[in-house]
Amino acid sequence: MKITINKLFKLLCDNDNYLILTHRHPDCDTLGSAMALSNLLRSLGKTVYAVCPDKITEKQKRLMDGYGFEDTGAPYEHIITVDVASVKLLGKYEDLANDIFIKIDHHLNREDFGRYSYVEDDYASCAEIILDICEYFEKAGKYTLTKDAASYIYCGISSDTGGFIYSNTKPETHIRAARLLSCGVPASYIDEELHIIKTPDRIKAEGYALSNMQYDLNGKIASVSISMKTRNELSVTEEDIADIVDIPRSVDGVDTAFSVKEEVDGSFRVSLRSGITDVAAIASAFGGGGHMRAAGCTLYAGSIDEAREAIVKECKKHIKS
Ligand SMILES: [Mn+2]
């Protein structure tokens, strides 16, 4: 059931013992949203802890002030999901899908789950919704946005807008960011961590991507495939290749860019980015989802080339010539 912010305010006030769930393959939007919401709920005297179905990266841990999102097995009563578009994205927590109390999300292509849902699907990030909630509590005289919470929210916004570059960035996005900066958020530190600083292994992975790019549809599609064999040869981690799709998407003339990565279980993880084409529609053809211009899915195919071909075939259906 969709609820208003006033109803959400009442629900958060009237209940206690929260478990916040983030999505698998976590980004700083889901993590930052969870951290800021935890900060708000704790300041109200509530018990809350946040977990992630996957291990978070060292960089994410730094940005989240050392909080690792590990499951301590602590008891809880009410589950809140943040930035989770589908129950599949709950990973090992998928079996909790029917027990979700409140879903807070900004995805356009999302599943209907959770007893209550609070959604703003024209927001660039889920973290901005958390900011709205914080401000609602402020107006009610129950909370003052802290520098820490503001920093977590800023991480979410900067992460989901690619540092205010993606087309989801709106005037309101900048206005919200301005408010966060006025709380003392170390924006340039966060932006550098998120968008500039890379490990030597990440640079090595980018080198591989640069020299192994594949083009289709007269250069409108660019892709890079990284098999487990390549991963081992380069000795790069999942973290090193997490945003490798940024390499094909940086090529002039490319509309749709994607990366295919072989996973430990033999499946193929695909990340899609585009200029115009609705890549959420492409991802959803394979049971995935996301946003118009940034989406992802997991494929089960005989080989990485087969997986790549399947995506190219689907892209061709959606790219207007
Ligand atoms: Mn998000």
Which mean pLDDT values do the consecutive 10-residue runs of the chain (321 residues) have? 97 98 96 98 98 94 97 96 95 97 91 94 97 98 98 98 94 98 98 94 96 97 97 91 94 97 95 95 94 93 97 96 71
State residue 241's pLDDT score: 93
- CATH 3.90.1640.10 residue ranges of the chain are 5-195
- CATH 3.10.310.30 residue ranges of the chain are 202-318
Distance of CA 83 from the midpoint of ligand 1 (Å): 5
Q: Tell me the HSE value of 99 on the side-chain side, using a 13 A CA sphere.
A: 13
Cα–Cα dist 33/46, whole Å: 17
User: Is 128 within 8 Å of 36 (Cβ atoms)?
Assistant: no
Distance of CA 302 from the midpoint of ligand 1 (Å): 31
3-state SS class at 207: helix
Dihedral angle, C-alpha 48, 49, 50, 51, nearest 10 °: -150
Distance of CA 200 from the midpoint of ligand 1 (Å): 27
User: What CATH class has 5-195?
Assistant: alpha beta
State residue 81's pLDDT score: 98
State residue 274's pLDDT score: 95
% helix, strand, coil for the chain, step of 5: 45, 15, 40
State residue 51's pLDDT score: 98
Please identify every residue whose CB atom is under 5 Å from ligand 1, which is an ion.
29, 83, 126, 160
What is the CATH architecture of 202-318? Roll (3.10)
Q: How far is CA 142 from CA 109, 145, 151, 183, 317, in A?
A: 33, 10, 20, 17, 51
